[in-house]
Chains A and B, each alone.
Chain A
Amino acid sequence: MLKLLLSRLATAIPSIVGVVVVTFMLTRLLPGDPAAYFAGLAASPQAIAEIRSKLGLDKSLPEQFVGYIADLAHGNLGNSLSTGQPVVSEIANRLPASAELTLSALLLAVAIAIPLGVLAAVKQGTWIDHLCRIVTTAGVSLPVFFTGLLFAYVFYYLLQWAPAPTGRLDVFLSPPADITGFYLIDSALTGNLETFWGALRQLALPAISMAIFSLAPLARMTRGSMLAVLGSDFIRTARASGLAPRTVVFTYAFRNAVLPVITTLGMVFSFLLGANVLVETVFAWPGIGLYAVNALITSDYAPVQGFVLTMAVLYVALNLLIDFLYGLVDPRVRLDT
């Protein structure tokens, strides 16, 4: 088990190195002269030169890269121009909001996509199979920001079922005590039902918009791999031996069909983390996506770079987790390592 963990960790190292190099390149590609930019419009050439040496921009690229690595190692991503706060702490403060949204969307997508895919495969050619095809084709075609707006219009403006699409919690409710940073979990832990309900209502529309966007690849893959497994010899044998259909589908087929689905999770996370930015913009969700978008509007680059790096590191970590999960579910992978 430890060996598996270590070997998987080793595969993530090149990805992390690549991510760090690319984000460094992105910071050095900034349009114009960053020193002149940081100094402001009325700065004298001398002031610009001073800032340039302060920022280390007068050094050679390799030296700058070493400086960048050292900053990263100290957890320093620079300061935001508009708020003056360190980017690291701002991102850390906002991360739970994004994580709560993204994980809720993922859980929802998995909870819908997997049963749908399994049913579509078991009852191939029936209405549920067609439903699955429609959902998967429509899901990938819907721009997530458009679905979000549509939901806000229908469920907030027309039906008034949902609260105003602004933020994590109604202004009249106070946020729960900070335990995990997830409003749903924190309010449940402290037994604050009113806040729990309020947070759930705010979370519903953005999470559903994201889930619809990301469930298509999951449902398609579940259906495809269930079909392949259900057609194989060992299923025929299990059926011929008189096992209950339920046992055949769930114990025999599903366990084998779930492997490609786990692999698809990597792509799903790539979708989700991207969609996260758009959905947070639509619903004024105070997460890191909205933070980056606001920074982009004011040409404040340090938060944007910090955001890209954070997202990439998270994504590498999630892929690592998926790899590890794959090894747990499939014993054959463990033997190979």
Chain B
Amino acid sequence: MNLLRHARYVLSENPVTGLAFGLFAMFLVAALFGPLLAPYNPLQSNAAMALKPPSAAHWFGTDQLGRDIFSRVLVATRLDLTIAFASVILAFLLGALSGVAAGYFGGWTDRVVGRLADTIMAFPLFVLAMGIVAALGNKVINIVIATAIINFPLYARVARAEANVRREAGFVEAARLSGNGEARVVLGHVLPNIMPIMMVQMSLTMGYAILNAAGLSFIGLGVRPPDAEWGIMVAEGANFIQSGEWWIALFPGAALMLAVFCFNLLGDGLRDIIDPLKRT
């Protein structure tokens, strides 16, 4: 109840967060029901209608194959958000578990996890993601893996710092004294306590994950045509920018931008709700 009241207070203080929640709901609807809502088949080409600017029949115009861009942008939401969600969850699982273990046990666990995170951070992250997808093979699942790997250090570091602070806390001592095993203390007592902070971290990195995945498919990694995905649709539209057909790249790009914007605002808002000290 207290949290709800606090959340309402933060929302009233910062209406932008409310806007972000609204956008989030919109993207969620598009991701869940996109294929049902789309007025046209996103893969159906129609040579007679190729490269038509936005009109009443085709809100976002049509692309070089006469496919309806509005339908494609709508349907792509599911794929883009799934890639981002999956990679964020994977990064969270890897990062939170190893980070908590590093912070709680210290010693060599800490050194191994720290070294691993440092090694990943020694690369420019997008470049490392490119290298990983190129090496593992050009598949969507590998975009998820690459994005998770480059986000892993962020989670591991936050989890490590938070677990380290709590390692001597009273409730942890109590759990230990009651005869719980170390694994149970870590997973059942330390991990749940750092979850709120990890949730904030997840929504903060979500925007970055979307950008990263779209960037990879923009350069031709992962998603293959004719699948609808925002990054690859922008790449297809790029070929028509110089001849003035702006709508092919603009609408998927705008959807991408709006999604990233929404998750960044959401992350800031969640942080304000959960961790009021860090408010800016």
Q: Which residues in A have some Cβ–Cβ distance to B below 8 Å?
A: 14-16, 18-19, 21-23, 26-27, 29-31, 137-138, 140-146, 149-150, 152-153, 156-157, 164-165, 224, 269-270, 272-275, 277-278, 281-282, 292-293, 296-297, 301, 304-305, 307-308, 311-312, 315-316, 319
The interface on chain B, measured as residues whose beta carbon lies within 8 A of the other chain's beta carbons, has a size of 45
Would you call B59 an interface residue if the criterion is a C-beta within 8 Å of the partner chain's C-beta atoms? no
Q: CA–CA, A272 to B127, complex, Å?
A: 10
Whether the pair B253, A19 counts as a contact (CB closer than 8 A) is: no
Extra A-B contacts (12), CB below 8 Å, given A137-B261, A143-B260 = A14-B118, A18-B122, A140-B264, A141-B207, A141-B261, A143-B218, A143-B234, A277-B130, A278-B215, A308-B131, A311-B127, A312-B124
Give the residue of A30, A31, A144, A270 whose beta carbon is less than 8 angstroms from that of B124. A270
Whether the pair B124, A296 counts as a contact (CB closer than 8 A) is: no
* Chain A, Cβ-Cβ closest to B230: A143
Give 11 A-B contacts (CB < 8 Å), ordered by A residue: A18-B119, A18-B122, A143-B211, A143-B218, A143-B234, A149-B238, A277-B219, A282-B238, A297-B220, A311-B123, A312-B124
Q: Which residues in B have some Cβ–Cβ distance to A below 8 Å?
A: 115, 118-119, 122-128, 130-132, 134-137, 207, 211, 214-215, 218-221, 231, 234-235, 237-238, 241-244, 246, 249-250, 253, 256-257, 260-261, 264-265, 280
Q: CA–CA, A270 to B207, complex, Å?
A: 17
* Chain A, Cβ-Cβ closest to B243: A157
Q: CA–CA, A275 to B234, complex, Å?
A: 16
Contacts of A137 in B (CB 8 A): 261, 264-265
Whether the pair B130, A296 counts as a contact (CB closer than 8 A) is: yes
Q: CA–CA, A270 to B124, complex, Å?
A: 4
Contacts of A307 in B (CB 8 A): 127
Q: Distance in Å from the Cβ of A15 to the closest Cβ of chain B?
A: 4
Whether the pair B242, A29 counts as a contact (CB closer than 8 A) is: no
How many pairs, one residue from A and one from B, have CB atoms within 8 Å of each other in the complex? 149
Q: CA–CA, A31 to B221, complex, Å?
A: 14
Whether the pair B130, A146 counts as a contact (CB closer than 8 A) is: no
| Residues A315 and B124 in contact in the complex (CB < 8 Å), given A137-B261, A146-B257 | yes
* Chain B, Cβ-Cβ closest to A148: B238
Whether the pair A312, B122 counts as a contact (CB closer than 8 A) is: yes
Q: Distance in Å from the Cβ of A290 to the closest Cβ of chain B?
A: 10
Interface centre among A14, A19, A22, A319 (most CB of B within 10 A): A22
